[in-house]
Amino acid sequence: MTLGTVVVGDDPASRSYVAFKHRAAAQAGMRAVGVTLAETASHAEVDDAIERLGADPSVHGVFLPVLLHGYLDVDAALARLDPAKDIDGMTATSLGRLALGAPGHVRCTALGIVRLFERHGVATAGSHVVILGRLWPGGCPLGAAAVLGEPRCRRHLGRPGLADREALADLAELCRQADMVVSDVSRPHLVTADWVRPGATVVDAGVSSVDDHIVGDVDFAAVQAVAGAICPNPGGAGPMTVARLLQATLAAARASGAVKR
């Protein structure tokens, strides 16, 4: 079984994230192949890398970091990805199957968070959930909504840096009303203690690099004093996401006939 990855640019968080996946694949007895391109890579170079991995019968799953969007047209890049190898559920085909309730690949972050809830007995049914994340690429709020059972409150925060003060104030108020806050924005320490209702569950799934250190979306030390339960990042949702990614690679390999059930 082989996991393929494509990284564009020098963002430390993106490279660290992918390196973690390669190490986990090796520990699980899988092969991992990576293509690393410069930030100045052309659309043609990225298209070629994605298509080569897609055409390689020895590669069963392909992962494109979300941070790819900072450099290129994500729609165009994802259009080159074979849906059968779209193990992180980012293509239009995967999202369409998810919307229809059909079997297919789903965002690994969303599924990893659900497994954390199951493991620790965190009930989601009937909860007021606020999910902060990019609706595109990859539809993390959509994926989480599907597996959480259609939470009553979903909101979309666009690319980091584009939200003005009024928008942030609105988001803070939404979060203060929530039983559960899930953040996957990749904006360092976006969620502070005054955003969280006492006793609420908080999950940090964002990844950013600050002074060569990987940090999450949540001001962990401050929020921990308010939240009833909190999942940090790094070290919380990340390992679960990687585990789901490897499971999806195995499923894709089985579907291709490369691995017998």
pLDDT of res. 16: 77
**110 vs 156: which has the higher pLDDT:** 110
CB–CB of 153/222 below 8 Å?
Answer: no
Angle, to 10 degrees, between the axis of helix 108-119 and the axis of helix 140-148? 30
What digits encode the pLDDT tens for the residues 79-133? 889 999 999 888 888 878 877 778 888 888 888 888 888 888 887 777 888 888 7
Give the model's confidence band at 70: pLDDT under 50 very low, under 70 low, under 90 confident, else very high: low
Instruction: CATH number for 108-238: choose from 3.40.50.720, 3.40.50.150, 3.40.30.10, 3.30.540.10.
Output: 3.40.50.720
Lowest mean pLDDT among 70-74, 173-177, 211-215, 248-252: 70-74
Question: Span 126-149, mean pLDDT?
Answer: 59
Residue 144 pLDDT level (bands cut at 50, 70, 90): low
Q: How confident is the model at residue 153 (pLDDT cuts 50, 70, 90)?
A: very low
User: Residue 15: what pLDDT?
Assistant: 77
pLDDT at residue 223, as a whole number: 96
pLDDT in tens, 232-257: 887 777 788 888 899 999 999 998 88
Same fold, 2-98+239-256 and 108-238: yes
Instruction: Quote the tokens at residue 34.
Output: 């990576």
The contacts of residue 33 (CB under 8 Å, 6+ apart) are 2, 3, 4, 5, 53, 59
Higher pLDDT residue, 71 or 26?
26
| Residue 193: strand, helix, or coil | helix
- Residue 62, pLDDT above cutoff 80: yes
Distance, CA of 216 to CA of 235 (rounded, Å): 10
- Predicted pLDDT at 22: 92
What topology is assigned to 2-98+239-256 in CATH?
Rossmann fold (3.40.50)
Residue 95: C-alpha distances to residues 91, 102, 144, 198, 242 (Å) = 6, 10, 12, 34, 20
Domain ranges of the chain: 2-98+239-256, 108-238
pLDDT of residue 197: 95
Provide the mean pLDDT of the chain: 80
pLDDT at 58: 93
pLDDT by residue (tens digit) across 3-54?
999 888 777 767 777 888 899 999 999 999 989 888 888 888 888 999 999 9
